[in-house]
Structure 1
């Protein structure tokens, strides 16, 4: 019996180097090269078990690597990158081009609106923040059904079964069922939660029947139940090779157990190691422990700190494993100085936020507060009853679509129903109260006293603002209004720019410099996703507002960047990280180990601290789906129920930091 012929690969790269601009242009002004000498193949056989994931820290080029596979960067030599399978008769004519056969779905705030290959929800998501909650739809606010079918233009195309230019109704029904989108089809896309919108973007890409689907950090910002359901769905696609999947992830993200091959990228946009998952993980494990034990010198482009949490496995039953760091090893972020007074209930002051039975309705649908709360000695109340006081550190949790973003919109008065609901902010109502002698609270009062970082702010802040202007915008009334700064505010802005220069400056070098001209030379839209997140985090806390709201503020950051922001949130400029070395005596002799510890900063030693961490006069409200992205100071928690379950919200108090004990996390999620 003759063996079956081996099918040519979909993507074949043989010793190629990649550029955004041609290397012969403008005498060396072509920009950096990416992945020099790259050799890579993506097989086309449906029976192939190669399931790839591209892993790397921020600025290592994960998204760029996916773009290379899709043919979006120049290849030198041009013949080094080919698409042999797409030239065969097995591929329909409409998929002969790589940018059609290989679809890209990205999930950061910039790319999600760009449409890049099926990745965006289009113009509906670019409406003003409060428009998301209005009952009247704008002309661009099309339904999820129209979005999936491509009916987002004035003259939509007709849909016919098996029409080469349209979308199969049979495929539509299957994709909608697999991604649990049926109940959402008639909703405007601007009403969708983060997790629902993510499933919608994946569905839109699948309906084009691509040969390959590139998913850029698909689990970022999703709650544990949604991750648990999305991973098996993707595995089913991978098993059937319909389509073939390539994922990207950060080192600290748990990798789905069905991933078989890894590409680990260095910090200089080069491949560090590539191959079968276990081989790659074994090499990284030996490197990590070799550096930790002093036997190997650390490569600056592959910092071991970024590898500490790598290696955890996402299974159908949850996350398994502890990463490359040994069990019991102290994470850098948990080495914060002990400041128990910041989490103590005894230090709380007057109420800053008061909700007494809040229900948010859109017609017959209750989006928040679809339950009745029973409290000892009190009359039952319908809706959410919640009070946040000075000094409290709250975590707000719940599945995607449970109403977390709605709560943030009520706090920040972006939601039009704020005016009609029983809500008080800073002891005052949005509407006049007869006999109170108080003026109603204005939008400007609220914005001056609440610092806010969220995916919505990320989506709407103008990309044309400079790095400096984004931070200064904390003192402005709107995104585009001129900031009102005094000398103290300017000093705080400069201090933040110096503190986070390595994360924000695209041309940062290790040389110490007090020249901050770079902050006025680079635009927000030119920064990496991680740098943009850092900038919005600084904006939320720099002027020490009464309430700091961090809604998924740390998603998209590497572990080291995240921990630096966490330390800054707790201590401002007063503390910093330092590396200490110590000698360990073992059976085979002595060795030198290194660890990261928290020490007093130079600013603290010289009494020149301009930006402090959270004080007991401030309240913190943090929303996250990942326990490592919840600040250690959080003690109070609120967990919203699944939408329309009519189960009541649950409240509790933690006995310690979330990220150091999975038991606390499981208690919140009741698992």
Structure 2
């Protein structure tokens, strides 16, 4: 016991203050779109922070399983990064890694950058290599030995000229490999090229690769984001067993609305100004936040702008082996708060008139195979008196579809087919906008070109996020909705330019990192959007990047809008603002102080915006001439207007896809959600 107590912590921070850049330096950038230089703000991060992660556990010192929780733009990723040694620390001696200097740590793990691994999903690098200029290039890349398999990726065999000298310390343990592959449900994918993995499969692969390097600490940035309920149910126990053995020690991050794994013991709750709001054991932190929420709602406390109450409404639920248990803080105070806390998560826009529009997407028996492996359409359906192999699916103008199914069931493949990124689009029975990708001599109809299709589809997805060039400015990302490729010159008329400006103004609080920085002069009213030409996409926080890609998908009012996990990574308040914008554009808004008015119903909480009152609305919401296709594993991230749904089966089951129609929003009724997933409860 005495020996264990004497062992130093693996991470120690004692009254440290962190900066992205040296506090005495001036970071200036300039852009061709305006003539004056613009200074990046460099506020202190986590002032006077103290934090320790124990290196060993015992009966007297139980494990500390930490989770960093906070709303959008609160600095969750930044907090994880500084635990690994990133960002400048003042004084420099305030941050140390004493355990790594002991003889208990192998030589390969002496450096914090190796001993402490970070797995996040906000980077521009893909599993399969450099990002292409356009999405379909992803499927054109399997032509050289550089297109390695998932097995090679997990084993680290990704170099063209690997050294013959093997590092025994860094070798992969065969038993660990087998366990990780099975627990993360990757065994059937080992022979596939990593470029062909779906979003959820890619996330599991990154986590698996990090676990196989046997680090001392594993930092997981929102590890459950984008994963289907069955995968989450399997991943959480695996992480729990690793945490119990402290091999490796785990630190997670999560949004306030995410259920916390039951094995989490300690919390750090972050304020919106990148400072710690509360830190300690889980029950103590939750108790303090519960007291704060109660005080604000009863009127005895003034709400702290950096600790918004609306972000805390869903916090407090627990992820267990039996599913999500417990209630959020708002539900604990009063049942009526639950409806108000997520008020306005989309509106019933279009698709309700009963009038069928023209078909925009027609798939009449689609089966996608890579070699012998079928990834979509491994079934036979009876339709209109005939048997058809593969997926049958029609999307009409004005319809609002939800596409669901477990990771690897083919959702990403469906998106690639309808966006015409997938090369098998040419050989499959698919018609887009009433036309085929191939010539139809008998009817004289010309084939659709790739660029014709791209111009008529707005698309946001983790794949778009992965391939979007980080060097584009905030404005250029939005304007690329009118371009052929991410980097080509867009064609914008005055109306389109006005829509871009109006959207940037509407979301400046969420997109401009310097919005609350007093150092940014706002005297020149004609240049208030200069920030959008100054900040690059790669400089924005993860949540802001997701918001920007969502706006890029809807701003052009394309015939088809595809939102594939578009709201993951956002906290509930930001998500609801995006949902409202999807429904109404800049015509509607929440009244000032809405975060303290959650008792209001969803309808009375929405008011006309100043733009609507003055008749200057430039950006409208989804129209009945558009079709919406939404993919999500979280019911709160499905717009309320979604009515039609399709649920894909596991590709190996041979069961057909199931389709149905909802009688109301998914968000407000768990029974509808369970009907889609064909389960009795627990998700």
Q: TM-score, normalised by structure 1?
A: 0.92
Matches within 5 A, 1:562-601: 562-579=575-592, 597-601=605-609
| Counterpart for residue 149 of structure 2 | 143
- Give the secondary structure class of the aligned counterpart of 1:463: coil
The aligned residue for residue 379 of structure 2 is 371
Distance 1:410 1:3 in 2: 60
Q: How far off is 1:122 after superposition?
A: 5.5
Deviation string, structure 1 residues 327-378 (Cα, Å, up to 9, x no partner): 3425458544996562416133111111111111222221110001123x52
Q: Secondary structure at the match of 1:380?
A: strand
Worse overlay, 511-520 or 226-235: 511-520
SS at match of 1:660: coil
Gaps of 5+ in 1: 114-119, 585-591
In structure 1, C-alpha distance between the alignment counterparts of 2:255 and 2:345, rounded to whole Å: 27
Q: Tell me the equivalent position of 2:33.
A: none
1:89 alignment partner, one of 93, 96, 103: 103
Corresponding position: 1:173 with 2:187: no
The answer on whether the counterparts of 2:346 and 2:576 sit within 8 Å (CA) in structure 1 is no
Asked whether the equivalents of residues 454 and 553 of structure 1 are also in contact (C-alpha less than 8 Å), the reply is yes
CA RMSD of aligned residues (A): 2.6
Query: For the residues of structure 2 that align with 1:24 and 1:505, how far apart are their CA atoms?
Result: 23
Closer, same or farther: CA 208–272 of 1 in aligned 2, 3 Å? same
Aligned match of 1:606 = 614
Equivalent residue pairs, number: 654
Residue-by-residue CA offset, 1:470-502 (whole Å, 9 max, x unaligned):
111111122122111111111111111111111
Give yes or no for the alignment of 1:34 onto 2:40: no
CA distance in 2, matches of 1:557, 1:638: 25
Map Cα deviations across residues 80-107 of structure 1 (whole Å, 9 max, x no partner).
2222222222111222222221111112
Q: Which residue of the partner structure matches residue 226 of structure 1? A: 231
Is the 2:313–2:341 Cα contact (8 Å) retained in structure 1? Answer: no
Q: Which residue of 2 aligns with 1:455?
A: 462
> Mean Cα displacement is larger for which, 613-622 or 439-448?
439-448
Moved more, 218-227 or 572-581: 572-581
- How far residue 632 of structure 1 moved from its aligned partner, in angstroms, is 0.6
**Matching residue of 2:76:** 62
Alignment of 1:455-474 (within 5 A): 455-474=462-481
> In 2 relative to 1, CA 643–312 (structure 1 residues): closer, same or farther, beyond 3 Å?
same
| 8 Å contact from structure 1 (residues 333, 563) kept in 2 | no
Q: CA deviation at 1:438?
A: 1.7
* Alignment check: 8 A CA contact 1:7 1:85 kept: yes
Further displaced range: 467-476 or 406-415: 467-476
Tell which has more relative contact order, 1 or 2 (C-alpha 8 A, sep 6+). 2
Cα contact 1:354–1:425 (8 A) shared by 2: yes
Give, in whole Å, the separation in 1 of the partners of 2:82 and 2:596: 45
What is the aligned counterpart of 2:569 among 540, 556, 559?
556
CA distance in 2, matches of 1:127, 1:224: 33
User: Post-superposition shift, 1:2?
Assistant: 7.6
Matched, 1:155 2:161: yes
Match of 1:116 in 2: none
- Alpha-carbon contact 2:347-2:580 (below 8 Å) kept: no
Q: Counterpart in 1 of 2:54? A: 43
2: CA distance, partners of 1:127 / 1:403: 24
Residues 582 and 447 of structure 1, relative CA distance in 2, 3 Å threshold: closer
Structure 2 residue matching 1:329: 3-state secondary structure: helix
**Aligned pair in 2 of structure 1 residues 333, 266: CA closer, same or farther (>3 Å)?**
closer
Instruction: Name the structure 1 match of 2:30.
Output: none
Superposed CA deviations along residues 371-405 of structure 1, whole A, max 9, x for unmatched, are: 01123x52121100011111110000011111101
Contact 2:119–2:206 (8 Å) recurs in 1 = yes
1:480 to 480, 487, 497: 487
1:301 aligns with 2:306: yes
Residue pairs, 1:350-499, within 5 angstroms: 350-375=358-383, 377-499=384-506
Picking from 538, 560, 585, the partner of 1:525 is 538
Contact 1:253 1:312 in 2 (8 A): yes
Structure 1 range deviating more: 284-293 or 607-616:
284-293
The answer to whether the Cα contact below 8 Å between 1:466 and 1:522 also exists between their aligned partners in 2 is yes
Deviates more, 1:472-481 or 1:494-503: 472-481
Structure 1 range deviating more: 632-641 or 143-152: 143-152
Quote how far apart the aligned CAs of 1:109 are. Answer: 4.2
Structure 2 equivalent of residue 261 of structure 1:
266
CA distance in 2, matches of 1:172, 1:379: 46
Question: By how many angstroms is 1:74 displaced?
Answer: 2.2
> Is 2:204 the partner of 1:196?
no
Structure 2 partner of 1:117: none
Query: Any idea what the Cα deviations from partners look like across 1:604-630, whole Å, max 9, x if unmatched?
Result: 111111111111111100011111111
1:587 corresponds to = none
Q: Check whether the contact 1:358–1:385 (CA below 8 A) recurs between aligned residues.
A: yes
Q: Distance in 2 between matches of 1:668 and 1:640?
A: 10
Q: What is the alpha-carbon distance in structure 2 between the residues aligned to residue 254 and residue 547 of structure 1?
A: 33
Rounded to whole Å, the distance in 2 between the matches of 1:24 and 1:580 is 37
